[in-house]
Structure 1
Amino acid sequence: MPDFIVRSLITTALGFCLALPAFAATQPDSYITRALDKPVPGGVAVVDLGSATDAPKASYQGKPVLVIKEQGNRWLAIVGVPLTVKPGSQQLVAKDASGSRNLAFVVGSKKYPEQRITLKNQRQVNPNPDDVKRIEGEQVVQIQAYRSFSPGTPSNLLLDKPVDGPLSSKFGVRRFFNGEERNPHAGLDFAVPTGTPIKSPAAGKVILIGNYFFNGNTVVVDHGQGFISMLCHMSRIDVKVGDVVPRGGVVGRVGSTGRATGPHLHWNVSLNDTRVDPAIFIGAFQP
């Protein structure tokens, strides 16, 4: 079992403590840091929380952060950095038996490309009033799922690809549908045939399933401590809410439901309610 897996339970989140000075976070030369520390907008920052007998707690922008035990009694925070964050210094709030402190980490810059997509269904570009009402309701339940923070530690942080196939769209791409700009691409798209089995990238619990206007048939898996996978556009869902799935367990089949121009899998990864580049977790990140 990898040395970064920890079985300690973390059950509460820490709020901001603004009165304390910020300290520069040191970065240990560790396997997890080398693999995951990509501190750019839409990336991941690995912040050293120091040594402690018990698991410290951490928060960023008021939201609880995944904390793992790395080596000995050393703890690391695995922080999702929003696409909207500007390059420069950011602060993580950490709390342990010695008290609270602010830890500074630096976010670099990254430029994302553009993608232009033509859709035959104009409602998928400019939804009508009934569509908008549906979309708003769907967004509420999806946001609730992204904000889940269960106490368990993920079975693995280096994830398995949910399908084997070529990437058709990368994370962070500025998207133009029928010439109109919409939100940046929040995940990875894999171009694979309809019916291809979709596997869970890590063990977890199914916390949401549904058929949504944009995402089509969707499964959301909670891997622990705010580490969430969303898998979209399925032709079929093979799990139900509450199911515990193993790493590699099949959750559904590839399709083209929702806003899709053909069969493919869209995969989101979220940390601390922040969509981050899944390529980081499969060793495919490009600066």
Structure 2
Amino acid sequence: MSRTEFSLLRRRLLGAASVVVVSAPWLAQAAPQGTFIERTLHKPVPGGVAVVDLGELAQAPHVTFNGYRVLVVRDADQRWKAIVGIDLKTAAGRHGLTVQGAQPVSFQVGSKRYREQRITLKNKAHVNPDPQQQARFEREYKEQMDAYASFRPEGPSNVVFDKPVPGRLTSPFGLRRFFNGEERNAHSGLDFAAPTGTAIKVPADGVVTIVADYFFNGKTVFVDHGQGLITMYCHLSAFDVRKGDTVRKGDVLGRSGATGRATGPHLHWNVSLNNARVDPAIFIGAFQP
């Protein structure tokens, strides 16, 4: 599929209903080797997404993976599909979904090797925080983990996204990160070059669940898009929303900056499914195998 065809198909999908239903006959014909959602999002590797066929059921089934509810949509072929987030630490091999009232369904996870990145920080506290800073980080971390684990039954308005900022991609998802020579958690999001003050636009409808200034992440916004699809935006210079706001695709959440643990102005963007951080590049057609 060409980049132009991809862009056209994506634009036509971005206004879907709260439960994503893609049923136009022309769309199924345009993707003979799988429906658009499958061809776009199915990247079953650690840190990726598996699109799993659940069949032609009368209604959306209740599906869990590793104890967390999974996003379920009806695709162009009128079959229900589970859109499963795969954690970076997931081992290659067969994995199973629990489907309420039905037999378990399995899918295959492949392997993927991620690069390393070494960063020098002037603020040594952002490498080894003191006890007070560590206590602050732990409070903030719990708040974020609770937000990632939430599940609203209402489905997302769309599952294929426009970029939240127009800048070029810089640090990719999954990098093994070394700060001042010390290894830390792998990069759990995707970075965009964005001069301070650039508008950050939400790529799907949702509810704002966090607006906070964090020790590592700086000024941060979380948006709950429904059914466990959560996005996070970090290092902002300013906010344009408040906690509890309802936002629509294209609304401005805030402005890019360099707050928190950042070496320069940029946007760090996370996407989470069923409490697993996954590669945001998948959702904007920029995934690199």
1:43 is aligned, of 35, 43, 48, to 48
**1:237 offset after TM fit, Å?**
0.8
Q: Which residue of 2 aligns with 1:176?
A: 178
Alpha-carbon distance in 2 for matches of 1:264, 1:3: 25
1:71-129 CA deviation, whole Å, 9 max, x = no partner?
3641000000000011111111112xxx2321110000000000000000110000110
Query: How many residues are aligned here?
Result: 266
**1:201 offset after TM fit, Å?**
1.3
Alpha-carbon distance in 2 for matches of 1:247, 1:123: 37
Q: Which amino acid aligns with 1:70?
A: D
1:41-67 CA deviation, whole Å, 9 max, x = no partner?
000000001011111110000110000
- Given that 2:121 and 2:179 are in contact with CA atoms closer than 8 Å, whether structure 1 keeps it comes out as yes
Q: Which amino acid aligns with 2:239?
A: I
Check if 1:34 corresponds to 2:39: yes
Q: TM-score, normalised by structure 2?
A: 0.89
| Secondary structure, aligned partner of 2:170 | strand
Alpha-carbon distance in 2 for matches of 1:60, 1:142: 20
**1:4 offset after TM fit, Å?**
9.7
**1:260 offset after TM fit, Å?**
0.3
Q: Which amino acid aligns with 2:87?
A: P
Q: Which residue of 2 aligns with 1:68?
A: 73
**1:2 offset after TM fit, Å?**
3.2
Alpha-carbon distance in 2 for matches of 1:238, 1:143: 23
Q: Which residue of 2 aligns with 1:223?
A: 225
| Secondary structure, aligned partner of 1:53 | coil
1:70-149 paired onto structure 2 within 5 Å:
70-71=75-76, 73-95=78-100, 99-149=101-151
Distance 1:8 1:196, change over 3 A: closer
| Secondary structure, aligned partner of 1:77 | strand
Check if 1:281 corresponds to 2:283: yes
Q: Which amino acid aligns with 1:196?
A: T
Alpha-carbon distance in 2 for matches of 1:73, 1:253: 39
Alpha-carbon distance in 2 for matches of 1:247, 1:160: 9
**Percent same amino acid among aligned pairs?**
58
Q: Could you say which structure has the higher strand fraction?
A: 1
Q: Which residue of 1 aligns with 2:190?
A: 188
Alpha-carbon distance in 2 for matches of 1:72, 1:165: 35
Structure 1 residues without counterparts, runs of 5 or longer: 10-27
- Given that 2:56 and 2:78 are in contact with CA atoms closer than 8 Å, whether structure 1 keeps it comes out as yes
- Given that 1:8 and 1:55 are in contact with CA atoms closer than 8 Å, whether structure 2 keeps it comes out as no
| Secondary structure, aligned partner of 2:53 | strand
Check if 1:54 corresponds to 2:53: no
Q: Which residue of 1 aligns with 2:13?
A: 2
- Given that 1:41 and 1:81 are in contact with CA atoms closer than 8 Å, whether structure 2 keeps it comes out as yes
- Given that 2:159 and 2:283 are in contact with CA atoms closer than 8 Å, whether structure 1 keeps it comes out as yes
Q: Which amino acid aligns with 1:248?
A: G
- Given that 2:192 and 2:268 are in contact with CA atoms closer than 8 Å, whether structure 1 keeps it comes out as yes
Distance 1:91 1:4, change over 3 A: farther
Alpha-carbon distance in 2 for matches of 1:66, 1:4: 18
- Given that 2:14 and 2:160 are in contact with CA atoms closer than 8 Å, whether structure 1 keeps it comes out as no
Alpha-carbon distance in 2 for matches of 1:2, 1:181: 40
Structure 2 residues without counterparts, runs of 5 or longer: 1-11, 21-32
Q: Which amino acid aligns with 1:256?
A: A
Q: TM-score, normalised by structure 1?
A: 0.90
2:236 is aligned, of 234, 237, 254, to 234
Q: Which residue of 1 aligns with 2:263?
A: 261
- Given that 1:5 and 1:153 are in contact with CA atoms closer than 8 Å, whether structure 2 keeps it comes out as no
**1:194 offset after TM fit, Å?**
0.2
| Secondary structure, aligned partner of 2:102 | strand
**1:168 offset after TM fit, Å?**
1.6
- Given that 1:6 and 1:68 are in contact with CA atoms closer than 8 Å, whether structure 2 keeps it comes out as no
2:157 is aligned, of 149, 155, 158, to 155
| Secondary structure, aligned partner of 2:104 | strand
- Given that 1:232 and 1:266 are in contact with CA atoms closer than 8 Å, whether structure 2 keeps it comes out as yes
